[in-house]
A = this chain, B = another copy of it.
Amino acid sequence: MGVKKTVRAEILAIGDELLYGQIIDTNSHWISKELDKIGVKVVQKTTVGDNREAILAAFKAAEMRADIILMTGGLGPTNDDLTKPLLAEYFNCDIQLVPEALEAVRTFFEKRGRELTELNKLQAHLPTKCTYIQNEVGTAPGMWFEENGSVWMSMPGVPHEMKRLMEEFVIPKIKEIYTLPTIYHKVIKTVGIGESWLAEILKDWEKNLPEHIRLAYLPSLGQVKLRLTAFGDELESLQNDVEDQILKVMPIIEKYVFGYNQETLEEAIGRMLKKTGKRVAFAESCSGGYISHLVTSIPGSSEYFQGGIIPYHNHFKNKILDVDNQTLSEKGAVSEETVIQMAANVRGLFEADFGLSSSGIAGPGGGWAEKPVGTVWIACAWENGNITKKLQLTQDRILNIQLTAVAVLNMLRLVISGKTE
């Protein structure tokens, strides 16, 4: 095989609301993930406002960098949306009613028993140079252009509408048009060790990586991902090269590794629980339901998630979870003794194999010298015993909730896999 030309893409997000920080752009992130999977190299992500000059300049700059330009936003029925008229201006064409598009919008509204507004009818008027791409789950259509040596796709900013257009049209179309180069990524997912310490224990292995394999450290909340990227011609040999490196590195980091690629910690735990046929329940005080939410966000979690209790006050820790009033008054809600009883009793109440608990001071209020904000106790109880851990986290309430969840899920992972020692 010869050297394949890299296919380069740029993602363009349009809307004042993105520049003013009113909403967060999750679309660009999702699109880049999907392009990465098929070997298209995203070279830049650009966000511009609802401003004629800025949008036209972004079209021009993107066209010079990229073969594929994927844009989201600026297509709504309201007056501040400019993408469509500017695409027509940029490609020097008119905007006309597309009867097929009008029919689709009409059907969309009929199905929902709603009347078509005048504003919605405007959404069926499209630049004459575009290919109309039906949006099955919304009213703003997709528009595909092949102009100025690049391909262009304009999509609505509503995430599930954009995703549907990407999955059903854009990705298949890109695969059809381009011969894509061979890139192979594998991500090793770790929890319970920081980036610097990981880099330190891995430095010899990293130094000896072959030329065509690159390593990146991607830290996030309480976790670090190690991404290996191999470049070459044949997918199978790239996969083998990466697997060889993983075999070498695993003895060093095995204790911290919970999974690979897109698998989240809560998915890994689901996989482990399903495999062992075990069930789990949570008693969450400071984490306030967040751990149960993470676990139940996974399809099929009803197989292993029994339920949870959020006893936000001592009175309910006693009344519903049967924690000793004496323990609560003498040791306090944020104590090793309390979290042990919470874990053991939620396990009993929900007839689970593992009971886990959290109790702490999430902040910003409520701390004192002995137990400052960020002090959290967690526990896991099972048939023959329990383990506990004290965490000293941050001043930030949300961060404390999230880090508590990671620590509890990691504790469960270590218990299930017998790695607690």
Interface residues of A (CB under 8 A from B): 16-26, 28-36, 41-50, 54, 58, 61, 76-80, 114, 117, 119-120, 139, 158, 160, 185, 187, 195-197, 199-200, 203, 206, 214-220, 225, 227, 284, 288-293, 295-297, 299-302, 305-313, 316, 320, 349-350, 362-365, 394, 396-399, 401
Contacts and interface: CB of A to CB of B under 8 A. Distances in A.
Contacts of A219: 76, 158
A117 B196 contact: yes
A302 B47 CA distance: 39
A81 to B, nearest CB: 9
Contact of A350 (B21, B31, B218, B316): B316
Contacts of A33: 20-22
Contacts of A310: 289, 292, 296, 307-310
Contact of A139 (B31, B35, B120, B196): B196
Given A45-B47, A218-B22, A307-B320, A195 B78 contact: yes
Given A21-B42, A22-B225, A42-B49, 8 more contacts: A19-B43, A23-B218, A77-B199, A114-B197, A119-B196, A160-B399, A310-B310, A320-B320
Contacts of A300: 365
Nearest to A321: B307
A42 B20 contact: yes
A217 B78 contact: yes
Nearest to A401: B297
Contacts of A36: 19-21
B312 A218 contact: no
A227 B288 contact: no
Contacts of A305: 288, 312
A200 B42 contact: no
B206 A79 contact: yes
Contacts of A284: 289
B76 A365 contact: no
A361 B296 CA distance: 12
B43 A32 contact: no
Contact of A80 (B44, B200, B217, B292): B217
A20 B32 contact: yes
Contacts of A31: 21
Nearest to A29: B24
Nearest to A25: B29
9 contacts: A16-B216, A17-B216, A21-B29, A44-B58, A284-B289, A288-B293, A289-B310, A302-B313, A308-B308
A119 B206 CA distance: 13
A396 B158 CA distance: 14
Nearest to A292: B289
A153 to B, nearest CB: 17
B195 A77 contact: yes
A242 to B, nearest CB: 15
A183 to B, nearest CB: 10
Contacts of A220: 23
A413 to B, nearest CB: 19
A36 B19 CA distance: 8
Contacts of A187: 22
Nearest to A115: B200
B32 A21 contact: yes
